[in-house]
A and B are shown apart, each in its own frame.
Chain A
Amino acid sequence: MINKILELIVPDAVCLNMDAKDSAEVIRTLGEKLLAAGYVKESFVAAALSRESELPTGLPLGAAYNAAIPHTDAEHVLHSALAVATLKHPVIFQNMVDPDAGVEVHLVILMALDHPKVQVEMLQEVALVLQDSATIEGLVQASSIEEVFASLKG
């Protein structure tokens, strides 16, 4: 059910228990890992940061933990990929549909999307994960990459 996510997660860009002071630091750290691994262009981090400030991606999930799914235009991407951070202390992302409202986020999934080969299955799988509080909880509490994959496999 989450095969595409498993295929696209870059293990070197999974940061567990990250000690970040704000949303920009999370996006920058994850984006630089995707850059180092060769999935995005130099311009990706700045583009993702500016896109987040104009069109934020915080998602209240109505349960113990909330998530954010930062991303930007495909022109900054070389190959589709996912980076994941769980946060030691939640940071505020603004609400996607209500940017004046802050959302306390524990889980960040940074999506590098390569248009026109948009990863429809992967996007649908991310929505499934966001809608499953047990998976979200498993991800937030994971202490190793193996536990991340185990939570995703459910």
Chain B
Amino acid sequence: MGKQKTILVACGTGIATSTMAAKAIESAMEERGIDVIIRQCKTAEIMGRLNGVNVLVTTTSFSSDIGVPIIRTLAFLTGIGKEEAIDQIIAALEACDK
């Protein structure tokens, strides 16, 4: 993968489920040797936090045309579909280099 990518992880409060997801994504990326910066915010703050972001992962139903891919998933909380969610994130990051 090309240069370091940034993942924005958003949830309702910006401190609870985004922390769970961010930690799980961090270790998944580390295991795969992918160098990423992970930021967190509240869903309500997303629009102002997109600068330099390559993919948005959210545990809420947030939906909007923000110019970066959005991955809505509970996989990092419940474990269900976790591998698929990680693959989706990696595919979105790889697409940035194309």
Contacts and interface: CB of A to CB of B under 8 A. Distances in A.
Indicate whether A and B interact.
yes
B15 A115 contact: yes
B6 to A, nearest CB: 20
A97 interface: yes
B19 A123 contact: yes
Contacts of B74: 59-60, 96-97
Q: How many B residues are at the interface, by size bracket?
A: 20 to 34
Contact of B72 (A73, A97, A120): A97
Interface stretch (A13-21, A126-134, A140-148): A126-134
Nearest to B42: A73
Contacts, number: 70
Most B CB atoms within 10 A — which of A71, A96, A98, A131? Answer: A96
B78 A73 contact: no
A120 B26 CA distance: 13
A59 B78 contact: yes
Interface in A89-147: 96-99, 111, 113, 115, 118, 120, 123-124, 126-127, 130-131
Nearest to B27: A124
A123 B20 contact: yes
A8 interface: no
A97 B16 contact: no
A35 interface: no
Contacts of A130: 77-79
